[in-house]
A and B are shown apart, each in its own frame.
Chain A
Amino acid sequence: MKDCADRLLLGTRKGLMIYGRDGAGWKLVNHSFTGVAIAYACHDPRTGLLWAAQDHGHWGQKLSRSADWGQTWEEVPAPTYPEGEMIKEGQPATLRYLWVIQPGHASQPDTLYVGTEPGGLFVSHDRGDSFELVRALWDHPSRKEGKWFGGGRDTAGIHSIVVDPRDARHLFIAVSCAGVFESRDGGESWAPRNKGMSAEFLPDADAEVGQDPHFIAMAEGDPQTFWQQNHCGIYYSTDGCANWKLVSKAGQTAHFGFAVAVDPHCPEVAWVVPAKSDMERMAIDGALVVCRTDDGGRSWKEQRSGLPQENCYDIAYRHALDVADRSLVFGTTTGNAFTSDDRGENWQDLGRGLPPIYSCRFAKA
């Protein structure tokens, strides 16, 4: 987001927390769905609607929208897998998780995308009144051949959706585990875009499908530039995902993690919240750190000022880091959240002892 944000949405294990910013900083202004896990929440600047994906412990996955910043909510029919669809032979496909919600192109204000587990991308053309499965992706031969599998979730899931601001029909999605896919025809056909990635967990590390991109983000300032926090390092693409370059090294602070955010003004600038290896998945040496690169990943600067530096076991999930203009926010599974107003140079507490945090997204009222 290039604009300065004045709202902050935290999807947590115990509800959606909405913060507003005034002269004194961020303050909690609304707590919706108390006690219900919110897998993801975002604001659609085209329609003004808030969206929240609920992960009920008992009642399944629900999707709700609000036209008044969370004062009231309306549940819409959640995406459903058509009868007869199978994850694999003998395993019927049912909605397991609403992992990400992505507003469509600016020219299509009624269009909304939802990424789900077990691997279905859904699209709505009526502001969420109804959804349909994006058939060509679901029927992609690589999925049918069993090359999609669980990573982070029990079965494959779509956690990243990118709409090219230059072309409403140009889409990217990322699947854990399968990789990045691109469509240039509004979702009618898809091709894997995983060249340059290396999956250390596969016998064929360079497999075209089977990679584990934890999250991908397009640079607002240059839609050809993409960043990716992968299970096996940080990747960077300057040609629209056609080729990916590894820009981190095992053993260095910035390498393993889940989230990545790109400076809205400068495509070579990005942030990650590193964690200690996929074997342990917690803060490195008990200290929280954010890393920023200013040069397309050639070097990474550690940003620790204001972050706790002992007794930390936090990790930040893939949707729990965001940037708006010069501001940043991230939240952790330990229930700690931090904001920065100077591009990560200094951090302030948003809250400690919060519920586990799944998503952090800025918005502007």
Chain B
Amino acid sequence: MKVKDIALDGVVRQNPVFKLVLGTCPALAVSTSLANAIGMGAAVIFVLMCSNILVSLLRNVIPGSVRIPAFIMIIATFVTVVILAFDKFLPDLSSSLGMFLPLIVVNCLILARAEAFASANKVGAAALDGLFMGIGFTLALSVMAFIRELLGTGCLFGVEVLGGFSIGIFASSAGGFLVYGLLIAAFVAGSNAISAKNKKKQAAAEKAAKLQAAQAVAASETEVK
């Protein structure tokens, strides 16, 4: 697979939050604050990349019958590394993310990519898939958090920007579902519009190519006569 395809799949075409609807629990819980969303995204990128690399390296060693427990153990190891590092160097972020850091272990996105991609591809491709899926996850969470924090609290990164104005529902769980649903709808509508446009372009290009070929045949027949 080309790097461009892996990148586009991870960030746009197969966006884990808006398209595949994976990792919904942290997406809703952590997106109340932009700082938390970016922090969670960074943690997921690290775990995704490392677990994908290791799973890919061991893909011919781990028997199929125990691949899931093996993948979970590998993912849990890297999540523990992240927790230890956050506690040491980013204690405020660690405290803010709370139980959702350890819950990365059971984030469907990470196990799904290990099972569906890393276990069937080479290390380089697996690492890139982990990176771009993680970036897609981070961007999705950041967009949700931007909307929810701005409208729900009137702040961004804890700094007041709307002069005290806020719509409380966006900071609540109900608002989280609302924003999530609307963003999925917008994302699907946008990607459908783009693919329809691309299909039109492709159809027009094929038509033009057929016409050209027909004209070339007609011209060569006239020459022969």
Q: Do A and B bind each other?
A: no
Residues of A participating in the B interface, judged by any CB pair closer than 8 Å: none
Binding site for A on B (CB under 8 A): none
